[in-house]
Amino acid sequence: MRVVVTGGAGFLGSHLCDAIIARGDSVACVDNLATGRPDNVAHLMGSPGFTFVEADVSSGLDVPGPVDAVAHLASPASPPDYLRLPLETLAVGSHGTENALRLAHRHGARFVLASTSEVYGDPAVHPQSEDYWGNVNPVGPRSVYDEAKRFAEALTRAYRDTHSVNAGIIRIFNTYGPRMSARDGRIVTNFITQALNGDPLTIYGDGSQTRSFCYVDDLIRGIVSMIDCTETGPVNLGNPEEFTVADFAQLVLRLTGSASPVEHLALPVDDPTRRCPVITRASRVLGWQPEIRVEDGVRRTIEWFRSQPEEVRLASAAGSR
């Protein structure tokens, strides 16, 4: 099959391209490099079955040749990125998603939307299952991302009902691993690069807020299963192993062997207090569950960052939020 991966030069998209090529299928990777990097797919350039198209999916999406599936991952994803690119984030969630849905409709292709746990906002229900409607501040700073993804989910549903597009929605919870941009400002990259540079680990607020961390290989298995079926979703994909931010800092310090201190900075506005997925639906409809323990995944991610010393050094200069 031939899969169009929007956002394919990003962290998750590039791993998805790898998985599809590795099983002998073809990929058309479409990316405007707003937050992604050519380096992430450099090893695929020249592979039979891989094509790279530099384009903004918010302005249109036409991919010559056959299309059997469209995996729509294009969107800034880290809070500093979407706060820096608010209008672009809203555009790719709305126009970009519609362009990707139209492409799937024209080809009678499977469509998978990469939505997010952020549709639950600062959840009043814990842990979060797919039938929870969420608690999003529609005019808060994070709304450019949260509402764009909520609109993208509504649009996906409407294309399924109106045009019979074989469309499904996944809600991805915090995922980490090799190829995260060292300067994306997310917790995993900040803490690892800070620990490796001997800089203070920046805990926002008192560090009692929680997140649940999924290793990238686990997540990609889930996305591929979703591409291969006709499930509509939404389906949560994440690792229910939940950490406070303060405990996660200690884990990174232990696994890096770093003597960095921790420092407390202001908590960003509307930062969700708790987040943990219920994954019974993913287990039932996809036969999916994460296999990589957080400690093992973080160790692998640290090793990867150690292999990128220049990126890690520059991350120090960029600083935290």
- Closest to ligand UDP by CB, 68 or 271: 271
Pair 146, 133: CB distance under 8 Å: no
- Closest to ligand NAD by CB, 200 or 240: 240
Please state, in angstroms and rounded to a whole number, the distance separating the CA atoms of residues 104 and 112.
10
Binding of ligand NAD at residue 75 (CB under 6 A)? yes
Q: Contact with ligand UDP (CB under 6 A): which of 76, 79, 222, 234? A: 79
Q: Contact with ligand NAD (CB under 6 A): which of 4, 28, 77, 294? A: 77
Q: The tokens of 286 are what? A: 């996809």
* Contact pattern for ligand NAD over residues 148 through 167, marking x by CB under 6 A: --------------------
Please state, in angstroms and rounded to a whole number, the distance separating the CA atoms of residues 20 and 249.
34
Please state, in angstroms and rounded to a whole number, the distance separating the CA atoms of residues 71 and 19.
13
Pair 119, 169: CB distance under 8 Å: no
Q: Which residues pair with 237 in a beta bridge?
A: 172
- Closest to ligand NAD by CB, 56 or 260: 56
Which 181-210 positions form the footprint of ligand UDP (CB under 6 A)? 186-187, 190, 202-204, 209
Q: How far is the CB of 174 from ligand UDP (least distance, A)?
A: 5
Q: How far is CA 23 from CA 2, 12, 16, 18, 27, in A?
A: 12, 17, 11, 9, 11
Q: The tokens of 307 are what? A: 């292999």
Please state, in angstroms and rounded to a whole number, the distance separating the CA atoms of residues 114 and 235.
10
Please state, in angstroms and rounded to a whole number, the distance separating the CA atoms of residues 42 and 284.
36
- Closest to ligand UDP by CB, 193 or 225: 193
Q: Contact with ligand UDP (CB under 6 A): which of 166, 174, 256, 260? A: 174
Which entry of ligand NAD, ligand UDP, none binds 96, CB below 5 to 8 A by partner kind?
ligand NAD
Handedness of CA 55, 56, 60, 62 (dihedral sign): positive
Compute φ and ψ for 210, nearest 5 degrees: -115, 155
Which entry of ligand UDP, ligand NAD, none binds 211, CB below 5 to 8 A by partner kind?
ligand UDP
Q: Which stretch binds ligand NAD (CB under 6 A): 18-26, 74-82, 128-136, 305-313?
A: 74-82
The helix or strand, by DSSP H or E, that contains position 105, with its residue range, turns out to be helix 97-107
Q: How far is the CB of 119 from ligand NAD (least distance, A)?
A: 10
Please state, in angstroms and rounded to a whole number, the distance separating the CA atoms of residues 316 and 189.
11
- Closest to ligand NAD by CB, 159 or 260: 159
Residues that bind ligand NAD (rule: CB under 6 A) add up to a total of 30
Binding stretches for ligand NAD (CB under 6 A): 6-7, 9-13, 30-36, 56-58, 73-77, 81, 92, 96, 114, 116, 172, 174-175
Binding stretches for ligand UDP (CB under 6 A): 78-79, 174, 186-187, 190, 202-204, 209, 211, 245, 268, 271, 320
